[in-house]
Structure 1
Amino acid sequence: MSILGKIFTWWDGATIGTHLWTARKGEHVGTDAQGNKYYRSKAKEGQRERRWVIYDGPNDASRVPVEWHGWLHGSFEDVPESFLPPPRIWEVDYTPNATGTAAAYRPQGALERGGKRAKAVGDYEAWSPDA
């Protein structure tokens, strides 16, 4: 992305201001499997520690894994890698939020699938202005 794009856009990666703040005040604490980088700044007197994420790609909060979400919100102090159990066999890999894309879920009857709704069996009576 061009320098002007970095200055004026926030939806496709971190802005120049965020990069400057991170370089000046941030301490890199970890990276998740998707390449998102997590930072913190030291707490000042009477204030909490500040924590943030720099996304590797578009800014989408659903890309933050559960364990890092807990760390970002101060549920625990140590970084998640220090105390995570091994992954279970039934756990699936992350899938991005597909809302607004061609891969989004569209039930039968959705306009994108032809708009044909399954016939109701006695539970639906069409409204008529004459009735």
Structure 2
Amino acid sequence: MGILGSIFTWWNGATIGTSLALRGKKAMGEDALGNRYFMGGKDTAGNPRRWVIYNGSNDSSRVPPEWFSWLHGQVDDVPDRALPPPRVWEKPALANATGTALAYRPPGALEQGGARVRATGDYEAWTPDA
């Protein structure tokens, strides 16, 4: 997309204005998806401001849960130091798949052929005359 894309579009990543606003802010870390996290300044309540710069499309479901907790002030330090290591049974977080080929489609969905399973005998359809 080039330089013009980074000036005028926000949906494919941070704009030049965002990059300029982050000058002088402290880089706090990076997650497994390549998103970068920054902190600096104060908000109106006096709390430190925190940002994420997405690696790719701006989709908040691409922020892992541990970094989400840091962004929202639930933990004070970065997740590597503030949180316990992940358990062996924990699965990695997945981005929202709505609108993609990986989205969940139940058996009666049009993309799955549109044929629903027949109703069993315990179902009686409502009629206005009943």
TM-score band (shorter)? 0.7 to 0.9
Residues 94 and 15 (structure 1), Cα distance of their counterparts in 2 relative to 1, 3 Å cut: same
Partner-residue secondary structure (3-state), 1:14: coil
**Aligned equivalents of 2:96 and 2:111: distance in 1?**
18
Could you tell me the percent identity over the aligned residues?
56
**Aligned equivalents of 1:117 and 1:96: distance in 2?**
28
Partner-residue secondary structure (3-state), 2:51: strand
TM-superposition CA deviations, 1:56-115 (whole Å, max 9, x none): 111111111111111111112211111221221111123222110111110011011111
Cα RMSD of the aligned pairs, angstroms, is: 2.3
Residue 96 (structure 1) aligns with: 95
Partner-residue secondary structure (3-state), 1:67: helix
**Aligned equivalents of 1:87 and 1:56: distance in 2?**
23
Residue 66 (structure 1) aligns with: 65
Residue 13 (structure 1) aligns with: 13
Q: How many Å apart are 1:54 and its aligned residue?
A: 0.3
Give structure 1 stretches of 5+ with no counterpart: none
Paired residue type of 1:15: T
Paired residue type of 1:9: T
Give structure 2 stretches of 5+ with no counterpart: none
Residue 110 (structure 1) aligns with: 109
Q: How many Å apart are 1:48 and its aligned residue?
A: 2.1
- TM-score w.r.t. structure 1 length? 0.86
